[in-house]
Structure 1
Amino acid sequence: MISNNDIPQLHSPLLTEFLTEIKQASFEHSVLDLACGNGRNGLYLIGSGVPVTFADINKMSLEKILEANANSLPVEKSELAELWQVDFEDENTSPLYGKCFSAIIIYNYLHRPLFEQIKTSIQSGGLVIYETFTTENIQFGRPKNPNFLLKHNELLQLFSGWEVLHYFEGVVSNVDGQGSKAIAQIVARKP
């Protein structure tokens, strides 16, 4: 059995920094890892004892998360995972309507029509942890489409009225040390 300490530290450092706040918020509802991809962030939270709903359009990605979860975590922690195959960009649905999460984490994904759904589906006192590319990223490569890039201070404006625990906007080195990227990140608590 692999312990949480043995899982490679590929998750966002924001999750480590705000793990106490995430755990405090997650007594009633799970954390939604929205557009989770390979699930690296949600798997870190599960390894830390936090229930997570992994949501993505890609069924194969979700199956790989289930496999990684089963192979790397003790049974009692693997029971904290829920998989949800969903298309967040389907114009005919409101996938978050009527759902409630203790926190929603979003990395490298931007679909502006979801903003209001995200805000309303977080419980009072819950958290949003959001990190994605800004318009400055065009100089470094993909994505280049402005629909997928945050404008200056867009996250701050979106979550005005929330308690901002952390905000950063700027250029950082890629995790692999190869090149840079321009990002914005926010950790905010819903009033």
Structure 2
Amino acid sequence: MQAIKQVEPLVESETISAWVRRWAPLIPGGEVLDLACGNGRHARHLVSLGHPVIALDHDPEMLEQAAGTGIVTSLVDLEAPGAVWPFAAGRFAGIVVTNYLHRPLIESLVASLAPDGLLVYETFSEGNEQFGKPSNPKFLLKEGEMLTWAAQQGLRVVAYEEGRVEQPKAALVQRICAVRPDFPRLAALLPPF
């Protein structure tokens, strides 16, 4: 029998992205994918909101830190030659991605959202090289790129931002909260500005 690891409270160095904190409460009930989860800071937050979570990463040491009650870890290198997207279409009520970009995954990732699913995505954009890493264009979004993805994938944009952030460090980012077309359009579900 496998021991269950309790989810430890977040420490200050694991601050949850303000973008994720703001939009994650809109995720409808159901399973959530934390893609490129790192040490699991967002996975733990999503569990605290009542969701079962799959925390996926290519680093076994990070997954060990991410493991906890309500979190299933998945060791997958989605960038390895011949790698395939491991999840079925329509599986997830929500998908959360921060500080990760691998463009070939976008179509499959969006396909894995349930018909009423929500995508919360935040990562670096061109110009970030002035602040350090990542600086490789392969890992930096072009201007408005997330909006283009949303349009191509038939998502409805709830919120989008592009610009400089200061926390947890100075960076240029794009971030989007987008929903599948069947997401309920009830004003009561949207938080106040």
TM class by shorter chain equals 0.7 to 0.9
**Unaligned ranges ≥5, structure 1:** 70-77
> Which residue type is aligned with residue 19 of structure 2?
L
What is aligned with 1:114? 105
What is aligned with 1:26? 29
* Structure 1 moving runs of 4+ over 4 Å: none
What is aligned with 1:92? 82
Q: Does 1:13 align with 2:14?
A: no
Question: Aligned equivalents of 2:82 and 2:51: distance in 1?
Answer: 32
Are the aligned partners of 1:96 and 1:121 in contact in 2 as well (CA < 8 Å)? no
What is aligned with 1:74? none
Question: Aligned equivalents of 2:65 and 2:87: distance in 1?
Answer: 27
Cα offset, 1:58, TM superposition: 0.9
Count of aligned residue pairs for this structure pair? 171
Q: Does 1:137 align with 2:128?
A: yes
Are the aligned partners of 2:116 and 2:179 in contact in 1 as well (CA < 8 Å)? yes
Q: Does 1:65 align with 2:66?
A: yes
Are the aligned partners of 2:43 and 2:66 in contact in 1 as well (CA < 8 Å)? no
What is aligned with 2:156? 163
Cα offset, 1:13, TM superposition: 1.7
What is aligned with 1:173? 166
Are the aligned partners of 1:86 and 1:95 in contact in 2 as well (CA < 8 Å)? no
Are the aligned partners of 1:26 and 1:51 in contact in 2 as well (CA < 8 Å)? no
Are the aligned partners of 2:7 and 2:44 in contact in 1 as well (CA < 8 Å)? no
**Unaligned ranges ≥5, structure 2:** 1-5, 182-193
| Partner secondary structure for residue 119 of structure 1 | helix
Aligned with residue 182 of structure 1, among 172, 175, 178? 172
**Higher helix share goes to which structure?**
1
Question: Aligned equivalents of 1:26 and 1:151: distance in 2?
Answer: 33
Task: Provide the alpha-carbon RMSD of the alignment.
Answer: 2.0
Q: How is 1:20-59 mapped onto 2 (pairs within 5 angstroms)? A: 20-22=25-27, 25-27=28-30, 30-59=31-60
The CA deviation string for residues 93-142 of structure 1, in whole angstroms up to 9 with x for no partner, is 32235252111111111001101111111111101111100011111111
Question: Aligned equivalents of 2:58 and 2:129: distance in 1?
Answer: 26
| Partner secondary structure for residue 50 of structure 2 | coil
Question: Aligned equivalents of 1:46 and 1:81: distance in 2?
Answer: 7
Are the aligned partners of 2:16 and 2:45 in contact in 1 as well (CA < 8 Å)? yes
> Which residue type is aligned with residue 60 of structure 2?
K
What is aligned with 1:72? none
Cα offset, 1:3, TM superposition: 9.4
> Which residue type is aligned with residue 185 of structure 1?
R
> Which residue type is aligned with residue 21 of structure 1?
L
